[in-house]
Structure 1
Amino acid sequence: MTAAPGGLAGMHPAYFALVMATGIVSLACHIVGLDAVARALFGLNLVFYPALWALAIARVVRHRDRVLADILDHGRSVGFFTAVAATCVLGSQCLLVGDAYRTAFVLWVVGIALWGVLTYAVFTILFVKLEKPALAHGINGGWLIAVVAAQSVSVLGAQLATRLGDDAPVVSLFCLAMWLGGGMLYLWIIGIIFYRYAFFTMSPSDLAPPYWINMGAAAISALAGATLIAAAPCSPVLEQLLPFLRGMTLLWWATATWWIPMLVILGIWRHVYHRFPLRYDPLYWGAVFPLGMYTVCTARLSTAVDARYLVEISGRFVYVALGAWLTAAVGMAMHLVRSARRS
């Protein structure tokens, strides 16, 4: 997992997307009844997550200048938000696949702390630094990982809320605020991304894998809404807002659905029309995650709005997510082997 260009020094801050992708595909398999696969992926994440933290800490100790450069970089700094989403997705795995409530709760608290530190540190630095890139070079779909981070906190918290007794209403309100705040951030960022698409020249190299987060951020917003709807019985505030919650959740799901054909077309334009080489990049885990998230959010939405027929979409889409995960995993394994031979 240190096989980014330059070894540990060049390790991308978004590498925690490996845990995000593995975790959400595991949850997708759990939902559709592929329990053996779900448990296997859960086991892998129990290895990936601490390994990535060990590498990240080692990088801070040994290559502080490179870490600082990443924090100051408009394109790479937002990658640090994958640590928040990875923590909360693993927490959801612990809760639903591993039946480990206490571990899930601890991971939720860690996720909140990481979200608070990264949100106000990263954006403050990007706002006040003197030298900034042009819009066409500074914005990419990876910025929406900040939305995914906020929504992952909301999803895990709403799932935990039903077991928190008297504290459930307070936790539910907090999760509602995170959901709404994440949605606000999506609208701000996606507007800039759409503007960049429509009014600046796009080269094949510009269309990097993180643009799939355009869909993934909307999908996790739909999942967060569906999870809040499920938690409504333990929160008077959520019960009052149920019509609003259902309408907004459908909006997020429709937005995610709209993006899928568009992203497929752009991928064909990149790799088929322009013959852009398809080689392993850690950022491809950020493209696997939205596929698994769409599977999960569609299944949860089917219950939240009483549209059970939507489950059929999840039953088929899970194999797309699994195929993408396997492709990325094989690519990573081959990349690590080649890097080991070179060293």
Structure 2
Amino acid sequence: MATGIISVGLHLTGHEVLSKILLAVAALVWLLLAADFVTLLARDRARWTAAAVTPPALTAVAATAVLGTRFSLLDWQGLAIALLVLAAVVWPGLLVAVVRHWGRDVPRPHWGQGLPGGVFLVCVATQGLAVLAATLCLAGEGDWLGDAALACFALGLLLYAYALLRFDFRQTLTGAGDHWVAGGALAISALAASKLTAVPLWTGGGHDALRTLTFVLLALSLAWYAVLLAAEVARPRFHYDVRRWATVFPLGMTAVAALSTGVVADVPWLRTLGRVLLWVAVAGWGLVWVGFAWARAGGPRGGAPVPPLPDPGAPPQTPLLKRRRG
């Protein structure tokens, strides 16, 4: 997801060679993860099922949609359509499993409690489908894709609100990286809105409403960006954690949303802002790769061991539960 969206941003800013290099990296990683996904399903169905009901499972949909969007911009429409079909087939099952798990097994959060930033992946995955469908519609692959994109976009906004009610806002100061998805989900929503604004299916009031909504969503995502950046400065977290990739994705997505909105709405300063934010995302991408390599090196030269990913759908561990287990 992170590498793919930065590849999109580099394409939008004219750095085509570097964009294609990162596209190749993203495609290779996608293939490796897809192979791992299938292998786990075949060899350990129980473990696969347990993982499938947690929000991180929806990265499979979001990553596929981001990769398909980049291939569409490369004018490889057949491959982009295939990836859209694959993402659309996987998406409803995973989404329903995650939402049902919340309703059945996860207690309703109270003030001061909640889930980490991965909770917003229900929105990210849905808006990823909207972005890819709208991109294909703009490429001339069918007007019905514009209608499908609009439906996914609207559902994605509802899912964002649903996730926001379950998010632990303390994560902005204590999160290991995935708390940035709170802003990244709005950024991909703004990108979807900008794509829909460019689709010629809606004119008059409909077009104006989409344009206004694009600005509102982008402004909210930039506000999240400022808050999260300030929290990083106030409470530095320098150690490597695999969830830092979930920081890079919102950095890149915010940049791409600003670039796309600047082009569609013809606002030059947004294009400039998008370029600046893109290089911030590239720097973050490079730092996380260094952290990944350092942690993988292990031994006395390696970084701190990478903690296992928590289950975002697991109920919070209260002192009472701990005493009972003891």
Instruction: Tell me which interval the TM-score lies in, with the shorter structure as reference length.
Output: 0.7 to 0.9
- The TM-score, its normalising length taken from structure 2, stands at 0.85
Aligned partner of 2:195 among 227, 242, 252: 227
Report if aligned partners of 2:117, 2:182 keep a CA contact under 8 Å in 1. yes
Report if aligned partners of 1:27, 1:38 keep a CA contact under 8 Å in 2. yes
Aligned letter for 1:242?
A: H
**Shift of residue 125, structure 1, vs aligned partner:** 2.7
Task: Tell me what 1:109 maps to.
Answer: 85
Query: What are the within-5 Å matches in structure 2 for residues 100-139 of structure 1?
Result: 100-129=76-105, 132=107, 135=110, 138-139=114-115
Query: What are the within-5 Å matches in structure 2 for residues 255-270 of structure 1?
Result: 255-270=220-235
Report if aligned partners of 1:207, 1:270 keep a CA contact under 8 Å in 2. no
Write the distance in 2 (CA, Å) between the matches of 1:203 and 1:250: 26
Q: Deviations over 1:302-340 (max 9, x none)?
A: 12222122111112111101001111112222333338x
Do the aligned partners of residues 47 and 238 (structure 1) sit closer, same or farther apart at CA in structure 2, a change above 3 Å counting?
farther
Task: Tell me what 2:269 maps to.
Answer: 309
Report if aligned partners of 2:157, 2:189 keep a CA contact under 8 Å in 1. yes
Q: Deviations over 1:161-205 (max 9, x none)?
A: 13446x41x221111011011011112322443xx43xxxx4888
Write the distance in 2 (CA, Å) between the matches of 1:148 and 1:71: 16
Report if aligned partners of 1:228, 1:238 keep a CA contact under 8 Å in 2. no
Report if aligned partners of 1:226, 1:246 keep a CA contact under 8 Å in 2. yes
Query: What are the within-5 Å matches in structure 2 for residues 323-342 of structure 1?
Result: 323-338=283-298
Report if aligned partners of 2:52, 2:94 keep a CA contact under 8 Å in 1. no
Structure ranking higher in helix proportion: 1
RMSD, aligned α-carbons: 2.3
Q: Does 1:87 align with 2:64?
A: yes
User: Following superposition, which runs of at least 4 residues in structure 1 exceed 6 angstroms of deviation?
Assistant: none
Q: Does 1:173 align with 2:140?
A: no
Write the distance in 2 (CA, Å) between the matches of 1:91 and 1:203: 31
Q: Does 1:289 align with 2:249?
A: yes
Task: Tell me what 1:248 maps to.
Answer: 213
Do the aligned partners of residues 306 and 83 (structure 1) sit closer, same or farther apart at CA in structure 2, a change above 3 Å counting?
same
**Shift of residue 133, structure 1, vs aligned partner:** 7.8
Counting matched residue pairs gives 300
Q: Deviations over 1:94-129 (max 9, x none)?
A: 111x33110001101111112111111221233123
Task: Tell me what 2:259 maps to.
Answer: 299
Task: Tell me what 2:313 maps to.
Answer: none
**Shift of residue 160, structure 1, vs aligned partner:** 0.6
Q: Deviations over 1:234-283 (max 9, x none)?
A: x2x46651111011111100000111121012112322xxxx5x322221
Aligned letter for 1:228?
A: L
Write the distance in 2 (CA, Å) between the matches of 1:312 and 1:67: 43
**Shift of residue 65, structure 1, vs aligned partner:** 3.7
Report if aligned partners of 2:119, 2:166 keep a CA contact under 8 Å in 1. no
- The TM-score, its normalising length taken from structure 1, stands at 0.81
Write the distance in 1 (CA, Å) between the matches of 2:75 and 2:132: 13
Return 118-127 or 247-256, whichever deviates more: 118-127
**Shift of residue 289, structure 1, vs aligned partner:** 0.4
Report if aligned partners of 2:116, 2:171 keep a CA contact under 8 Å in 1. no
Report if aligned partners of 1:204, 1:270 keep a CA contact under 8 Å in 2. no
Do the aligned partners of residues 253 and 155 (structure 1) sit closer, same or farther apart at CA in structure 2, a change above 3 Å counting?
same
SS of 2:235's partner is helix
SS of 1:241's partner is helix
Write the distance in 1 (CA, Å) between the matches of 2:114 and 2:44: 24
Do the aligned partners of residues 286 and 337 (structure 1) sit closer, same or farther apart at CA in structure 2, a change above 3 Å counting?
same
Report if aligned partners of 1:32, 1:314 keep a CA contact under 8 Å in 2. no
Do the aligned partners of residues 222 and 288 (structure 1) sit closer, same or farther apart at CA in structure 2, a change above 3 Å counting?
same
Write the distance in 1 (CA, Å) between the matches of 2:93 and 2:49: 15
Write the distance in 2 (CA, Å) between the matches of 1:182 and 1:257: 18
